[in-house]
């Protein structure tokens, strides 16, 4: 989220860090919003490859926990160096709730479920995030009912994901539709719900006014809970440090810097300045980015079905964005 920091004076201080939130709520800069969406769309799409490499020799939950705790601690230390105020006890409590919902419930359940559910159906189930976001936002105290274009965009996006990752479900391929582990599928649906609740909770929770400080403590709390979960599940006892490769360590480094510092920071900031449905469109774009990276880096086939699916997804994002631009922006 370098764009936001770039707008502060050359020497930040505790006084101007809170102003970031007030400025964001009143008139977020277009360049900053576009940069944040680019980070969430492109960087998070690339983390599929990084996670795949990282978990080859690193335990999933412990890796994810160390990733977020490291990223959050270093970010908080950097902000403190430049004068940011230390979060209050109330801030830490809110961060524990938000971090638990987003990182333990959301990210953690996805990591666990992919032991039993193939990546294609998993991506499809995780793509229910935008639907949950719209439904939960509509049911909130100041809920906004989704419009026709928004609903059409959500459904079209899901259709695009089905074509992209699971064409057999529509009879578009000759493959037999595979059975999905019910517990794994349930975990993915719960992960999507947990991420959505955490996202909406973060918008109004008692968190530090400076978005980056809030991001840092959410990552510390959520990552800490992931580590506890990994230890309770016995990952440490099945882990062999001697078997860790430099490729996995490099992938985890990429996840810390790009996936967490830049990507997650951009996501938390967007939750404060953009409508939930528009922010949630990352769930449609990330699989497209993953497919394109697979084609460019791993020489995976880019079939006509994949191209058609990506066209549906881009159209869905456009419909949701168009709907929100026709209404008053919520801040």
pLDDT tens figures, 37-80: 999 999 988 887 888 788 888 999 999 999 999 999 999 999 99
Residue 210 has pLDDT above 50, yes or no: yes
What's the mean pLDDT in 247-259? 93
Q: What is the pLDDT of residue 50?
A: 84
Our CA dihedral for 91, 218, 132, 63, rounded to 10 degrees, sits at -160
Q: What is the pLDDT of residue 324?
A: 53
Does this model's pTM top 0.85? My answer is: no
Which residues, including other chains, have CB under 8 Å from residue 48's CB and lie 6 or more apart?
286, 290, 293
Share of the chain above pLDDT 90, in %: 33
Q: What is the pLDDT of residue 288?
A: 82
Q: What is the pLDDT of residue 300?
A: 67
pLDDT band at 173 (very low <50, low <70, confident <90, very high): low
Q: What is the pLDDT of residue 15?
A: 32
Q: Are 276 and 197 in contact (CB under 8 A)?
A: no
pLDDT band at 320 (very low <50, low <70, confident <90, very high): confident
Mean pLDDT of the chain: 80
| CA nearest neighbour of 324 among 179, 201, 148, 164 | 148
| CA nearest neighbour of 75 among 290, 289, 269, 318 | 269
Nearest-Å Rg of the Cα atoms of the chain is: 19
What SS3 state is found at 299?
coil
């Amino acid at each position: 989220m370098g764009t936001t920091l770039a707008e502060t004076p050359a020497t930040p201080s505790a006084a101007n860090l809170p102003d970031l939130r007030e400025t964001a709520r009143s008139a977020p800069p277009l360049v900053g919003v576009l940069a944040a969406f680019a980070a969430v769309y492109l960087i998070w799409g690339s983390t599929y490859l990084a996670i795949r490499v990282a978990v080859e020799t690193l335990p999933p939950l412990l890796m994810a926990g160390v990733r977020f705790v490291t990223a959050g601690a270093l970010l908080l230390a950097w902000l403190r160096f430049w004068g940011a105020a230390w979060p209050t006890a109330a801030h830490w409590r809110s961060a524990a709730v938000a971090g638990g919902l987003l990182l333990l419930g959301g990210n953690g359940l996805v990591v666990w479920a992919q032991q039993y559910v193939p990546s294609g159906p998993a991506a499809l189930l995780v793509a229910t995030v935008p639907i949950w976001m719209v439904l939960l936002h509509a049911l909130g105290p100041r809920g906004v009912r989704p419009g026709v274009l928004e609903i059409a965009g959500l459904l079209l996006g899901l259709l695009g994901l089905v074509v992209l990752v699971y064409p057999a479900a529509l009879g578009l391929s000759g493959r037999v539709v595979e059975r999905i582990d019910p517990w794994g599928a349930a975990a993915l649906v719960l992960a999507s719900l947990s991420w959505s609740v955490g996202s909406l909770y973060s918008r109004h929770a008692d968190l530090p006014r400076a978005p980056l400080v809030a991001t840092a403590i959410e990552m510390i709390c959520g990552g800490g809970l992931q580590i506890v979960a990994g230890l309770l599940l016995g990952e440490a006892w099945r882990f062999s440090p001697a078997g860790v490769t430099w490729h996995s360590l490099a992938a985890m480094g990429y996840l810390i810097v790009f996936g967490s510092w830049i990507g997650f920071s951009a996501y938390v900031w967007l939750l404060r300045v953009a409508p939930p449905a528009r922010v949630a469109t990352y769930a449609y774009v990330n699989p497209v980015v993953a497919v394109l990276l697979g084609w460019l880096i791993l020489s995976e086939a880019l079939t006509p079905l994949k191209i058609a699916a990506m066209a549906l997804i881009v159209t869905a994002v456009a419909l949701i964005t168009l709907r929100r631009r026709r209404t008053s922006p919520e801040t």
